[in-house]
């Protein structure tokens, strides 16, 4: 019997008389609340201990309401990228959504667009052959592009080609090149091309700007362009409708390709390159920039494939114009009749640069 313990301090065992043996809970003692669907995890821990549903919701939302991590970095607190639906993707985390857009849309359809464009051009070439050659050469040369214009164009064109090829390898190489080369060789090649792409991009941006302003003046649309367009530019039979220095097709390329797509490609490319100061470059930014870049570059490539075709195989002596800067009067008459007439009429100088020692005489002077 404990009370019988002989020590003097045994009295500690007996409860003080003042306190009732069983006091009920004091005022203010409340039972835990009922669980509610929109509780925070803290509230849920009280209402339904162990049910962490609110926490898992927070995990899903950590892309928006970031958690914390002791590591420095903008996105270290994100457990799962935010859930989004990009055009063409399902509603899922941004990483996977981006992957869906890229792998299910940009790569297949972008690739298809380019392949179709190439095929269409090939078909055109083999069925109809190159344009032009209906006007005989006169032997008289007109200056079409100054040295500066040509330099600007070609540096831009070369950069474009490198970017396009490297871009294409990045996008499609693994389906076409990789099986042929093996991983390491392909990796090395792609690494070189990718680095070139990254470094050349900003240069392309600069040259594109120059090209734009250089050719801006003669690319403003005018009345004749409607005419030209209505007749399909004579591409599908009939005589080529008269046009100014640049025809409506070229102007379309200029405004649609150089200006509109060019700006989009350049801006998105510079984002991907992380060279625009003051941006956070979080994954979401990169995904969007990439998708924009991917779509715009695909369109741009398709468009410029046409341009390149016409500038090389597709039109007799067009290439020479950009190469030498001079065209034969006959060529000018056939393809840019209004321009030719303006020159003849002296409304436009036939030569804007000092004469060089090139063969042939500027015809319009006569």
Partner 1 sequence: MARMKFICDADRCIECNGCVTACKAEHNVPWGVNRRRVVTLNDGAAGEKSISVACMHCSDAPCMAVCPVDCFYRTDEGVVLHDKDVCIGCGYCSYACPFGAPQFPSNGEFGLRGKMDKCTFCAGGPEANGSDAENAKYGRNRLSEGKLPACAEMCSTKALLGGDGDVVADIFRTRVLNRGKGSEVWGWGTAYGKPTQTSLATPTTGEKK
Partner 2 sequence: MLLTRKPGHSGGHAGASDSGLVASLARGVSRAIPTMDRRAFLRRSGLGVGTGIAVSQLALVQKKAQAADAPASGKARKVEIKRTVCGHCSVGCAVDAVVENGVWVRQEPVFDSPINLGAHCAKGAALREHGHGEYRLRTPMKLVNGKYEKISWDQALNEISAKMLELKKQSGPDSIFIVGSSKHSNEQAYLLRKWVSLWGSNNCDHQARICHSTTVAGVANTWGYGAMTNSYNDMRNSKAAMYIGSNAAEAHPVSMLHMLHAKETGCKMIVVDPRFTRTAAKADDYVRIRSGSDIPFLFGLVYHIFKNGWEDKKFIADRVYGMDKVRDDIMAKWTPDKVFEACGVDEATCYKTAKTLADNRPSTVVWCMGQTQHTTGNAVVRASCILQLALGNIGVSGGGANIFRGHDNVQGATDVGPNPDSLPGYYGLAEGAWKHFAKVWDVDFEWIKKQYAPGMLTKPGMTVSRWIDGVLEKNELIDQDSNLRGLFFWGHAPNSQTRGLEMKKAMDKLDLLVVIDPYPSATAAMAAMPGKDSELNPNRATYLLPAATQFETSGSCTASNRSLQWREKVIEPLWDSRTDQMIMYQLAQKLGFDKEFTKSHKLVAGKGGMMEPEPESVLREINKGMWTIGYTGQSPERLKAHMRNMNVFDVKTLRAKGGVDKETGYKLDGDYFGLPWPCYGNPELKHPGSPNLYDTSRHVMEGGGNFRANFGVEREGVNLLAADGSCSKGAEITTGYPEFDHILLKKLGWWNDLSEAEKAAAEGKNWKTDLSGGIQRVSLAHGCHPFGNARARAVVWNFPDPIPQHREALYSTRPDLIAKYPTHDDKKAFWRLPTLFKSVQEKNKDIGKTFPLIMSSGRLVEFEGGGEETRSNPWLAELQQEMFVEINPATANDRGIRNGENVWVTTPTGARLTVKALLTERVDRETVWLPFHFSGRWQGTDMLPYYPNGAAPVIRGEAVNTATTYGYDSVTMMQETKTTVCQVQKATA
Q: Rounded to an integer, what distance in angstroms lies between the CA atom of residue 137 and that of residue 168? A: 39
**Nearest distance from C-beta of residue 32 to partner 1, angstroms:** 14
**Residues of span 293-352 touching ligand HEM by CB under 6 A:** 293-294, 297, 300-301, 304, 307-308, 311-312, 318-319, 321-322
Of these partners, partner 2, ligand HEM, partner 1, none, which one is at the site of residue 291 (CB under 5 to 8 Å by kind)?
none
- Tell whether residue 269 is a contact of ligand HEM (CB under 6 A): yes
Six-digit token string for 89 = 């993707």
247 contact partners, CB below 8 Å, separation of at least 6: 225, 228, 233, 240, 241, 335, 336
- Tell whether residue 32 is a contact of partner 2 (CB under 8 A): no
- Tell whether residue 38 is a contact of partner 2 (CB under 8 A): no
Evaluate whether 294 touches 168 at the Cβ level (below 8 Å): no
**Residues of span 124-153 touching ligand HEM by CB under 6 A:** 144, 153
Q: Which of 5, 10, 79, 112 is in the footprint of partner 1 by CB under 8 A? A: 79
Of these partners, partner 1, ligand HEM, partner 2, none, which one is at the site of residue 11 (CB under 5 to 8 Å by kind)?
partner 2
- Tell whether residue 89 is a contact of ligand HEM (CB under 6 A): no
- Tell whether residue 193 is a contact of ligand HEM (CB under 6 A): no
Q: How far apart are the first and last CA of the chain?
A: 137
Q: What DSSP state is assigned to residue 5?
A: -
Q: What are phi and psi of 365, to 5 degrees?
A: -70, -20
3-state secondary structure of 299: helix
**Nearest distance from C-beta of residue 154 to ligand HEM, angstroms:** 8
Nearer to ligand HEM, 144 or 333 (CB): 144
Evaluate whether 129 touches 310 at the Cβ level (below 8 Å): no
Nearer to partner 2, 68 or 127 (CB): 68
Six-digit token string for 11 = 């009295």
Six-digit token string for 21 = 């043996």
Long-range contacts at 231-236 (CB < 8 A, ≥ 24 apart): 234/131, 235/131
Task: Give 84's strand partners.
Answer: 92
3-state secondary structure of 141: strand
The C-alpha angle 336, 238, 317, rounded to 5 degrees, equals 40
Of these partners, partner 2, ligand HEM, partner 1, none, which one is at the site of residue 287 (CB under 5 to 8 Å by kind)?
partner 1
Q: Rounded to an integer, what distance in angstroms lies between the CA atom of residue 247 and that of residue 229? A: 9
Q: What are the residues binding partner 1 (CB under 8 A)?
A: 40-45, 49-56, 58-60, 62, 67-71, 75-81, 93-96, 98-99, 102-103, 169-171, 173-174, 178, 183-184, 186-187, 190-191, 194-195, 197-199, 202, 272-275, 281, 283, 286-287, 290
Query: Which residues are at the interface with ligand HEM (CB under 6 A)?
Result: 102, 106, 144, 153, 156-157, 160-161, 163-164, 167-168, 170-171, 194, 197-198, 201-202, 204-205, 208, 211, 215, 219, 246, 250, 253-254, 257-258, 262, 265-266, 269-270, 272-273, 293-294, 297, 300-301, 304, 307-308, 311-312, 318-319, 321-322
């Amino acid at each position: 019997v404990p009370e019988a313990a002989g020590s003097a301090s045994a009295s500690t065992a007996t409860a003080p008389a003042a306190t009732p043996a069983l006091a009920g809970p004091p005022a203010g003692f409340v039972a835990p609340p009922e669980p509610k669907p929109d509780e925070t995890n803290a509230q849920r821990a009280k209402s339904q201990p162990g049910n962490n549903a609110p926490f898992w919701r927070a995990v899903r939302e950590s892309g928006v309401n970031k958690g914390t991590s002791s590591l420095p970095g903008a996105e270290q607190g994100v457990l799962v990228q935010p859930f989004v639906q990009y055009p063409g993707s399902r509603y899922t985390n941004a990483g996977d959504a981006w992957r869906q857009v890229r792998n299910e849309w940009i790569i297949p359809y972008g690739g298809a667009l380019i392949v179709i464009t190439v095929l269409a051009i090939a078909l055109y070439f083999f069925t109809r052959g190159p344009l032009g050659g209906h006007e005989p050469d006169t032997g008289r040369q007109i200056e079409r592009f100054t040295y500066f214009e040509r330099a600007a164009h070609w540096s831009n064109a070369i950069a474009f080609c490198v970017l396009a090829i490297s871009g294409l390898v990045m996008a499609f190489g693994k389906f076409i090149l990789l099986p042929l080369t093996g991983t390491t060789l392909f990796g090395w090649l792609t690494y070189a091309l990718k680095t070139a792409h990254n470094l050349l991009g900003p240069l392309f941006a600069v040259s594109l700007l120059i090209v734009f302003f250089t050719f801006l003046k003669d690319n403003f649309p005018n009345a004749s362009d409607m005419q030209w367009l209505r007749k399909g530019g004579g591409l599908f039979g009939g005589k080529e409708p008269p046009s100014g220095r640049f025809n409506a097709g070229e102007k379309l390329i200029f405004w649609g390709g150089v200006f509109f797509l060019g700006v989009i490609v350049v801006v998105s490319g510079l984002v991907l390159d992380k060279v625009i100061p003051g941006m956070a470059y979080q994954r979401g930014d990169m995904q969007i920039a990439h998708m924009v870049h991917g779509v715009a570059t695909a369109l741009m490539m398709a468009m410029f494939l046409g341009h390149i075709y016409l500038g090389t195989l597709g039109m007799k002596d067009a290439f020479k114009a950009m190469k030498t800067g001079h065209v034969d009067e006959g060529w000018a008459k056939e393809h840019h009749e209004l321009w030719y007439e303006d020159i003849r009429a002296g409304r436009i100088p036939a030569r804007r640069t000092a004469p060089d020692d090139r063969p042939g005489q500027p015809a319009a002077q006569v």
